[in-house]
Amino acid sequence: MSELKLTDVAKTYGPVDVLKDINLEIETGELIVFVGPSGCGKSTLLRMIAGLEKISGGTLEIEGQVMNDVPPAQRGIAMVFQSYALYPHMTVRENMAFALKIAKMPAAEIDAAVERAAQILQLEPFLDRLPKALSGGQRQRVAIGRAIVRDPKVYLFDEPLSNLDAALRVATRIEIARLKEAMPGSTMIYVTHDQVEAMTLASRIVVLANKGISQVGTPLELYETPDNEFVAQFIGSPAMNLLPGKISQTGETTTVTLECGGTAVSAIATTADDMGKNVNVGVRPEDFQQTDSAPIMEGVVDFTEALGEVTLLYFAEQEGAHAVIAKLPGIQRNLRGTTVAVTAVPEKVHLFHNGLSMRNRS
Amino acid sequence: MGAIRFSGLPISTVIREDGMHPAIQGLLTIAIGVSGCVGYFYLSNQFVDKILFPARGPNAGRNINRANMIRPWLFLLPAMLALGVYLAYPVFETLRLSLTDRVAGGGYEWAGLNNYSQMLAEPKFWEAMRNNMLWLIVVPAMSTAFGLLVAQLTDRIRWGNVAKSLIFMPMAISFVGASVIWKLVYDARPPDQDQIGVLNAIYIFFGGTETHTWLTLPFWNNFFLMIVLVWIQTGFAMVILSAALRGIPEETIEAAILDGANPFQIFFKIKVPQIKTTIMVVWTTITIVVLKVFDIVFAMTNGQWETQVLANYMYDKMFRANDWGVGSASAMVIMLLVTPILIWNVRNARKEMQ
């Protein structure tokens, strides 16, 4: 049985639909990451699971029990807020003990739970300090500790790292990954707009867009086999290049004649019905390689960015090829202003028809 | 300033005879006052920069530094003079007067601490002290509690702002005006007549057989007077505390909801502790108002029926008994009582600002 199940969940503010038709099952022990552009409703969905927002339609089940109208504290969830949301007038110990005190747990058990959480998070030296005497990273650990002591079925993280500086963000990200490993039975839902966090932490990623779920899958599934153009461009940086063209040969492999003049061969199979269809060919910048034979794309390099490990080539805009970017390995000198031809192996060439991938058509 | 104030008095008729309209007189005064201020700052700075320490010659650099050392004092001087004449001097003059006695036919004689011992021997003074302590405990506590209650209850409802405006309105009424209103509330007519006093009307309605002149019931009449000030100060407390409540981070409240706290626990364990300093500032500010309370007692009972308070006692001695010595002595007592609270209040307010 799944730990948490969303069925046809919807959220409306008056006449405005924010989310609709959300269907998702989360298994025990998973770390699910909600990603999406800002305003896509990912935080709203998390807050609906937490019980801070009303669910306008559909059902939320946790361990098989419908939770739509159950008060937040009785849903078996704990939440870590972006701004930490520590109680400023309570010490670290009191912050972590608050929920247990409210639940009228015996003092000895509260102490034990707090000590255990403090030990996991290395907060023991700070237990009697007020939050204002802690650094950002320590505050975030206290916020996580406050969730741990409650021993919830599901942990909810609402952009927990976005208030930290870059170095601390990486360190805390690794800490969260370790924490997850140390508690294999716990289920976590994590909201972020940072795709690096999503790729590194998630057991499965849920991409939210256009009021619904765009695709659910493991990080590499989303990277290698995106279902649609949105996911293709949202996951990976720089975004996947999309080049319009027409299918000119079908079969086990598909050949597309591109508007920019090139030819692309994809390992995706097509049928004779697809002949002549308008498609977008998707190639990730890092899948491009220089070639002497028939290229997918040939153009003048307008601008380069040498990062040492890779070199980014920005092609000058031409008809049928807007802002195409290629990422070549290593250092590539003196390419700016020259004409470069690039191609990709058929396995790395994606085909999209009407925005949807042609890979998994039934 | 002087002219503006005079224009309300009979002296204005003198001005009318001069042929000048009071409004023009007022505008003229404002113009003179403002240009006088501007002129003072401009000319005094010019004097320092151009004549006293000119920024030229062999000592130009030194002169600029010296001019800049003097400049803050130029700006502070008017304020310091005004504070000195209108605040510091009266304090010391009152202290001096409290140690002297008026002599019939003019002049004064040195009295030492006689005024104080005379005052301490008077039962009316101790009655005033007792009543002031009562006011001190009841009014700030009730005003702050009601203010907090209203601020919390009106926070989330649609007509909350209307309710708040209504509760704030007494703040705009003078103490004397409020006293007149409440005197009507406490008004008593013979039981067989229609009551214009709301309190007696309610009392009769619920089966009372005789009306009471509430303000003459010793001890309890103090509370009837206090209600007037609570009625006024609740609005003040509400506005400040409402702003403080809004300043509490929403997430801490949501976190408390997730932690299972009920609305009462959220209010008392999460919200109130977070606005504790504001509550203390409101409390002490009202305390200071209470220590100086005069108008309400003066207008409603004038200290009769055991409702005397220190400020009215002072007024009695100073202007009715014409005893400047005891009057000043009681003024010193009020000041001594207010000062520590004032210092504490200012400190708290500063701490909150940081």
Residue pair A149/A94 in contact (Cβ under 8 Å)? The answer is no
The upper half-sphere exposure of residue B273, i.e. CA atoms within 13 Å in the direction of its Cβ, equals 13
The verdict on B268 and B324 lying in the same domain is yes
Integer Cα distance of B12 and B5 in angstroms: 10
Note whether residue B110 is domain-resident: no
Per the structure block, which two tokens stand in for A196? 């690096």
Mind telling me how many Å the CA of B278 is from chain A's nearest CA? 14
Integer Cα distance of B42 and B179 in angstroms: 48
Q: Which residues of A touch B257 (CB under 8 A)?
A: 51-52, 72-73
Question: B2-37, pLDDT tens digit by residue?
Answer: 334 444 444 444 445 556 788 899 999 999 999 998
Residues whose CB is less than 8 angstroms from the CB of residue A209 and which lie 6 or more positions away in sequence, other chains included: A36, A37, A40, A230, A231, A234
CATH number of A4-233: 3.40.50.300
Residue with tokens 């102490």: A111
Residue pair A92/A127 in contact (Cβ under 8 Å)? The answer is yes
Mind telling me how many Å the CA of A22 is from chain B's nearest CA? 23
The verdict on B172 and B59 lying in the same domain is no
Residue pair A142/A78 in contact (Cβ under 8 Å)? The answer is no
Q: What is the pLDDT of residue B89?
A: 92
Q: What is the pLDDT of residue B125?
A: 87
Q: Which residues of B touch A54 (CB under 8 A)?
A: none
Q: What is the pLDDT of residue B117?
A: 86
Mind telling me how many Å the CA of A130 is from chain B's nearest CA? 13
Question: A208-230, pLDDT tens digit by residue?
Answer: 988 889 999 999 999 999 999 99
Beta bridge mates, A305: A312
The verdict on B50 and B123 lying in the same domain is no
Chain A CA closest to residue B261:
A102
The verdict on B50 and B189 lying in the same domain is no
The verdict on B166 and B280 lying in the same domain is yes
Instruction: Provide the b/e sequence for A225-246 (b: ≥16 CB within 10 Å).
Output: bbbbbbbbbbbbebbbbbbbbe
Per the structure block, which two tokens stand in for B304? 């009769």
Residue pair B228/B237 in contact (Cβ under 8 Å)? The answer is no
User: Pairing relation of β-strands A154-158 and A187-191?
Assistant: parallel
ipTM above 0.95, yes or no: no
The beta-carbon neighbor of A83 closest among B249, B258, B273 is B249
The verdict on B56 and B167 lying in the same domain is no
**A228 to A244, A338, A361, B292, B335: CA distances (angstroms):** 15, 33, 12, 75, 78
Integer Cα distance of A300 and A322 in angstroms: 13
A238-356 CATH choice from 3.40.50.1360, 2.40.50.140, 3.20.20.70, 3.30.2450.30: 2.40.50.140
Question: A330-355, pLDDT tens digit by residue?
Answer: 888 888 888 899 999 999 999 999 88
Note whether residue B209 is domain-resident: yes
Q: What is the pLDDT of residue A325?
A: 92
Integer Cα distance of A137 and A163 in angstroms: 9
Integer Cα distance of B122 and B104 in angstroms: 23
Burial zone of A126 (CB within 10 Å; 0-12 exposed, 13-18 middle, 19+ buried):
buried
Mind telling me how many Å the CA of A88 is from chain B's nearest CA? 7
Residue A12 has pLDDT above 80, yes or no: yes
Sign of CA dihedral A210, A43, B244, A165: negative
Question: A265-303, pLDDT tens digit by residue?
Answer: 998 888 888 888 899 999 999 999 988 888 888 888 988
The answer to whether the predicted template modeling score (pTM) of the entire model surpasses 0.95 is no
Q: Which of B251, B254, B259, B278 to mutate to test the interface with A (most CBs of A within 10 A)?
A: B259
The verdict on B200 and B286 lying in the same domain is yes
Chain A CA closest to residue B263:
A102
User: Pairing relation of β-strands A310-315 and A263-266?
Assistant: unpaired
SS3 content of chain B, % helix, strand, coil (to 5): 75, 0, 25
Longest CA span, chain A:
76
Give the pLDDT of chain B (354 residues) as one tens digit per residue.
333 444 444 444 444 555 678 889 999 999 999 999 899 989 988 888 888 888 777 888 888 888 888 888 888 988 899 999 998 999 998 888 888 887 777 777 787 788 888 888 888 888 888 888 888 889 999 999 999 998 888 887 888 888 888 888 888 888 888 888 888 888 877 777 777 777 877 877 787 777 777 777 788 888 888 888 999 999 999 999 999 988 898 889 999 999 888 889 999 999 999 988 889 888 888 888 887 788 888 888 877 787 888 888 888 888 887 788 888 888 888 888 888 888 887 887 787 676
The verdict on B79 and B125 lying in the same domain is no
Per CB distance under 8 Å, which residues of A are interface residues toward B?
A: 50-52, 71-74, 77-79, 81-90, 98-99, 102-103, 146, 150
Q: What is the pLDDT of residue A362?
A: 56
Question: What are residue B333's phi and psi, to 5 degrees?
Answer: -60, -45
Question: A244-275, pLDDT tens digit by residue?
Answer: 999 998 888 899 998 888 888 998 888 888 88
Note whether residue B125 is domain-resident: yes
Domain ranges of chain A: 4-233, 238-356
CB contact under 8 A, A89 and B273: yes
User: Pairing relation of β-strands B108-110 and B100-102?
Assistant: antiparallel
Q: Which of B253, B258, B272 to mutate to test the interface with A (most CBs of A within 10 A)?
A: B258
Note whether residue B104 is domain-resident: no
Tell which of B98, B127, B151 closes a domain: B98
Residues whose CB is less than 8 angstroms from the CB of residue B52 and which lie 6 or more positions away in sequence, other chains included: B67, B70
Question: How would you write chain A as a 3-class SS string?
Answer: CCCEEEEEEEEEECCEEEEEEEEEEECCCCEEEEECCCCCCHHHHHHHHHCCCCCCEEEEEECCEECCCCCHHHCCEEEECCCCCCCCCCCHHHHHHHHHHHCCCCHHHHHHHHHHHHHHCCCHHHCCCCHHHCCHHHHHHHHHHHHHCCCCCEEEEECCCCCCCHHHHHHHHHHHHHHHHHCCCCEEEEECCCHHHHHHHCCEEEEEECCEEEEEECHHHHHHCCCEHHHHHHCCCCCCEEEEEEEEECECCEEEEECCCCEEEECCCECHHHCCCEEEEEECHHHCEECCCCCCEEEEEEEEEECCCEEEEEECCECCECCCEEEEECCCCCCCCCEEEEECCHHHCEEEECCEECCCCC
Terminal CA-CA length for chain A = 28
Note whether residue B123 is domain-resident: yes
Q: Which residues of A touch B251 (CB under 8 A)?
A: 81-85
Q: What is the pLDDT of residue B2?
A: 37
The beta-carbon neighbor of A102 closest among B252, B260, B273 is B260
Mind telling me how many Å the CA of A53 is from chain B's nearest CA? 11
Question: A34-88, pLDDT tens digit by residue?
Answer: 998 888 888 899 999 999 998 998 899 988 889 888 998 888 899 999 888 999 9
**How many domains are there within chain B?**
2
Integer Cα distance of B80 and B223 in angstroms: 41
Q: Which of A43, A52, A153, A155 to mutate to test the interface with B (most CBs of B within 10 A)?
A: A52
Mean pLDDT over all residues of chain A? 89
The verdict on B190 and B318 lying in the same domain is yes
Mind telling me how many Å the CA of A104 is from chain B's nearest CA? 11
CB contact under 8 A, A81 and B254: yes
Integer Cα distance of A3 and A288 in angstroms: 42
- Residue B283 sits in which domain range? 116-353
- Give me the CATH number covering residue B272: 1.10.3720.10
The verdict on B272 and B323 lying in the same domain is yes
Note whether residue B298 is domain-resident: yes
User: Pairing relation of β-strands A212-217 and A4-13?
Assistant: unpaired
CB contact under 8 A, B251 and A83: yes
pLDDT over 90, % of chain A: 33
Sign of CA dihedral B87, B7, B76, B50: negative
